[in-house]
Amino acid sequence: MSGPYQVIFTARARVDLLAVRRWLYQPGSGLKARLRSARITRAIVELQFTPFRWPESQTSGVRERPVEGHRILYRIDDGHRTISIIRVFGPFQDRADL
């Protein structure tokens, strides 16, 4: 066993996560929204230990981790032991812009 993978984010994934957090932390959002945000963050952290658990998406080489209605799209570089988070799509969000 070689230890966990390193998780890195594309610029677009960072923008996606910021938008998700802005939406979930808007005034009056409440505890459920904060818990949802925490579960999304936890799902990303857990990818470093089980990156191959989730299926490939329709795009070759891209895997998709569903969590709380969102989809975390990522690529695995097994040689460098890195996971690149490509996008984080919200519910009903158009995925054409991958």
Report angle CA 61, 67, 69 to the nearest 5 degrees.
105
Predicted model pTM = 0.89
Residues 9-30: tens digit of each pLDDT: 999 999 999 999 999 999 988 9
The full set of domain ranges for the chain reads 6-89
Decide: 64 and 51 in contact? Cβ < 8 Å: no
- Cα distances (Å, whole numbers) of residue 37 to 4, 27, 30, 61, 75: 23, 15, 11, 26, 22
The CATH fold of domain 6-89: YaeB-like fold (3.30.2310)
pLDDT band at 67 (very low <50, low <70, confident <90, very high): very high
> Which of 97, 45, 44, 51 lies closest to 76, judged by CA?
51
Residue 21 to residue 63: CA distance in whole angstroms: 22
